Structure 1
């Protein structure tokens, strides 16, 4: 006769065995790889032995800095080239401006289509959040210098686009920007690339 503890243990073991393949599949999936800037190597003389340095854990390919690229498996390359502060002179009369307690900023993104088929830019999702103490952003509009990401990008072509936001000043100047690609070329369950940087 089974005791309550033995029955509970058997149920947990069965549940864990059922979830293991799903968990392993999700954790091993990836959409692409990071392309980071390479720091210059230090020269070492023949007489001097290289100093031992602690091995730094490699950041995930989806955790990027401004200036880094993320290359999808089909060759599409995304690069956040800047996170720039929007000034009062950047807004026109009919633009949607941030409140006095918020900082307006613009994310600059390059998209290079190295895939063999046209890239539908209307299927992408974007998100920006505060990265200092958290904080939600809101969309603003600044027509001067903006370039909406829309339409189709032909194979072998590169496009530069902008996204405008505002973040509460109390939430600092660090921002994490996320791109989500939704089409048949990617695994939608895989982690999206994130770029973290300071509003300049």
Structure 2
């Protein structure tokens, strides 16, 4: 009879080395919203007290192809870099308030604001001028148009001290024909970045 630890390894690798080898170039791990509660409700570790059948039911029901990679996230999820820096996309909101000189979306466009936070969990200042954020339509493609909106905006720039958190925004518009779902990509380009690793992506709907 297979041990629980062996079953865990099978579920993770599922007969292919591709997913396991990808660990050689991973910039970090995902912390998914609600995962703490899920881990309390089912102990899926190798020392779990669950029976073998219960472990398979509660922890091994998803195939590796169904499990989301650490770089594929939803709004509210956090990506934790290997050095301790954390980034969370917190919301995608429809733009409704504009200043006198702000850009406004065209009639056939949906204007929106992406908000995210970066927490410096490292021991030295974090220069976010070496980070970049980009977006694209997720439903059937589509490029976004950047908007210059000062009312309520906070561009990602400057430095974050150790232990501190910065909040930032980006304002853009997407053609209504391309739906309301977007993909947000964060690219890190400082000396802690692994250029061979995938960047984290957040997929969400404009609310």
- TM bucket by the smaller chain? 0.7 to 0.9
Q: Which residue of 2 aligns with 1:71?
A: 80
RMSD: 2.1
Q: Which residue of 2 aligns with 1:111?
A: 118
Asked if 1:153 corresponds to 2:151, the answer is no
Encode CA deviations 1:113-151: one digit per residue, 9 max, x unaligned.
011111111111111000001100010022111111111
- How far apart, CA to CA, are the structure 1 residues paired with 2:24 and 2:145? 33
Q: Please identify the structure whose Cα radius of gyration is greater.
A: 1
SS in 2 for 1:80: strand
- How far apart, CA to CA, are the structure 2 residues paired with 1:139 and 1:27? 34
Contact 1:26 1:189 in 2 (8 A): no
Q: Which residue of 2 aligns with 1:189?
A: 196
- How far apart, CA to CA, are the structure 2 residues paired with 1:156 and 1:145? 25
Asked if 1:61 corresponds to 2:62, the answer is no
Q: Which residue of 2 aligns with 1:81?
A: 90
Cα 1:194/1:138, change in 2 over 3 Å: same
Q: Which residue of 2 aligns with 1:29?
A: 25
Tell me whether 52-61 or 121-130 shows the greater mean CA deviation.
52-61
Q: Which residue of 2 aligns with 1:176?
A: 183
- How far apart, CA to CA, are the structure 1 residues paired with 2:205 and 2:157? 26
Q: Which residue of 1 aligns with 2:14?
A: none
- How far apart, CA to CA, are the structure 1 residues paired with 2:196 and 2:144? 24
- How far apart, CA to CA, are the structure 1 residues paired with 2:119 and 2:132? 17
- How far apart, CA to CA, are the structure 1 residues paired with 2:62 and 2:181? 27
Structure 1 gap segments, 5+ residues each: 1-23, 43-48
TM-score w.r.t. structure 2 length? 0.76
Contact 1:64 1:196 in 2 (8 A): yes
Structure 2 gap segments, 5+ residues each: 1-19, 43-52
Instruction: Give aligned pairs, total.
Output: 169
- How far apart, CA to CA, are the structure 2 residues paired with 1:192 and 1:55? 24
- How far apart, CA to CA, are the structure 2 residues paired with 1:52 and 1:185? 39
Matches within 5 A, 1:131-150: 131-150=138-157
Contact 1:136 1:167 in 2 (8 A): yes
